[in-house]
Chains A and B, each alone.
Chain A
Amino acid sequence: MSRVLQIAASPWTRLVLVTILVLSLQTTLFAELRPFGTSIQIVGIFVGAIGVMHGLQSGALAGLACGLMYDFVLATPLGLGALVLGVVGVTAAALLLPFRESTWWMRAGAVALAAGIGEVVWPLMSAVVGLDGWLTPRLFVSAASSLVGGLVLAWPLLPVAAWTLREAQGSN
């Protein structure tokens, strides 16, 4: 019983629950608000925020887990989103590695940049697995849209990401 409670209280369980909420925002609010015809990828921004707040490994792991959950609601091949968001989590964390201490605007910038890169990586990975037709100039519009969206949404999501895996960071 205590083992079950321990699992339920683990930060990774919290990550799954928070991801479901973020995912529901992605499939409702951000699927409808489409600046320039593109959907802002709040899931990618959230993964980037985790990477920035908790480092490379947590970013990669959270990206893979969130991406897998995202794949469950998309019509794209299962596992594709997991790999892409894994890259986003690692990228966001790696962008801050050269800096000893990061400021708030550097963290927001890293999240936004990683989310934008994710929008380019996604069609690239799709092409690798044989899904043609997405490598078009339009992907730069999607990337720019997610980049700008990331700059705005990083504000509320950075504290959420920090809270989501807080205990894991403590036990590290």
Chain B
Amino acid sequence: MAEFRINRTRAIVLLALASVFLITLDISGGGTSIVRSTFGTFFRPVEGVTRVVTRPIVNAWRSFREFDDVVSENQLLQERIAQQEGAAVAAAASVRLSQELLALNGLPTLAGINSVTAQVIGDSPSNISQTIEINQGSDAGLKVGMPVLNAAGLVGKVTEVSANRALVMLLTDPDYALSVKVIAEPSRRATTVTSLPTENRVTPDEDLTAPSATTTTTSTTTTIPSIPGFTPASTTVPVLPSPNAQITVPNASQLAVRETGVLQGRGPGKRPYVRFLEALPSGENIQVGAPIVSSGGSRSLAPPDIVIGVVSRVVERSGTAGPVLEVELVADLSNLSFLRVLLYQPITETQR
């Protein structure tokens, strides 16, 4: 009996030391992912069966807790759909135009990045991590670090991958940080000029295609030259304004200003912050409602111009420290169902 006790004490000490060693190894970026994926191989089938068995209980709980919310949310959504149907058509045209301009200038766009659609199959089992589990993994080409979006905007990044499962760290996790751009609205002063005579007027066709294409009275189809990684469809340039119309030309100094900062999660129930390393140049004023998008760049965790949210509060700090922006995310992280994983692995994550 005494021998058994000694062995057990030794086992406790050994396991405790092993835990400390594993923590050190994991935090320093050691290869612990293989241990997790091996355990996952045995654990996932059991988890799958348990999920099926417990689904009626989960559904009953949800119908009990969320019925009223679903009804009111449904009414609200119907109202919003009606409001946004018209705006969506105009927005889609703007997005397409923007993508074409980016492609024409050889700049990267989201349209050129392949993606995988995944379904959320589980929430975080722990109270100290903001993760969700999705039903796609390395078999579908997922790798650690890939950005995850839903229909509204950025949701998070892939942190663990097994064959057909992956863990996604949400934007609100305190460990999540991403370089972002805040598009500050300039003051709306603009120069208004009367349009030039018809013979001198520059048409969009002249800007986008050969100078010979100068049709001004009907819609014109424009085909964009082939650019690697991006193949836009034919688009229709709208009819030009009448000869007597006025053209509003914003001053160059009054175009939208893009300020780069770092977005960081702050845990559940708290909106993420964007911090700037230093005070913004004088005259630049970030207003509540300014959109925030990913900044991109060779070492960024996400490609550029993924919508993240809008500024909900600007907190000024004393001294040379720049302001801190509180961000209202466009993606509703409490209600995720189908997600899109961009098959874009950042350089900083390629070794994982």
Contact = CB atoms under 8 A, between A and B. Distances in A.
B129 A129 contact: no
Sort chain B's interface into a size bin: 35 or more
Contacts of A60: 12
Contacts of B268: 37, 138
Interface majority SS on B: helix, strand, loop or mixed?
Answer: helix
Given A82-B19, A138-B267, A76 B128 contact: yes
Interface string A115-159: 000010011001001111110101100100000000000000000
Contact of A28 (B27, B39, B51): B51
Contact of B131 (A41, A75, A83, A126): A75
A172 B4 contact: yes
Interface string B47-71: 1011100100110011000000000
Interface in B1-30: 1, 4-5, 8-9, 11-12, 15-16, 18-23, 25-27
B175 A131 contact: yes
Contacts of A21: 46, 50
A127 to B, nearest CB: 10
B22 A38 contact: no
B124 interface: yes
Contact of A31 (B20, B122, B175): B122
Contacts of B266: 133
Contacts of A24: 43, 46-47, 49-51
A31 B125 contact: yes
Contacts, number: 165
A111 interface: no
A172 B43 CA distance: 31
A67 to B, nearest CB: 8
Question: Which of B47, B129, B159 counts the most chain A CB atoms within 10 A?
Answer: B47
Sort chain A's interface into a size bin: 35 or more
B26 A134 contact: no
A73 B40 contact: yes
B127 A72 contact: no
Contacts of B126: 39, 41, 74, 76, 122
Given A20-B46, A79-B19, A29 B127 contact: no
Contacts of B40: 72-73
A9 B114 CA distance: 50
6 contacts: A39-B123, A39-B125, A72-B40, A82-B18, A83-B20, A133-B266
Interface of A: 20-21, 23-34, 37-39, 41, 57-58, 60-61, 64-65, 67-69, 71-80, 82-83, 86, 119, 122-123, 126, 129-134, 136, 138-139, 142, 171-172
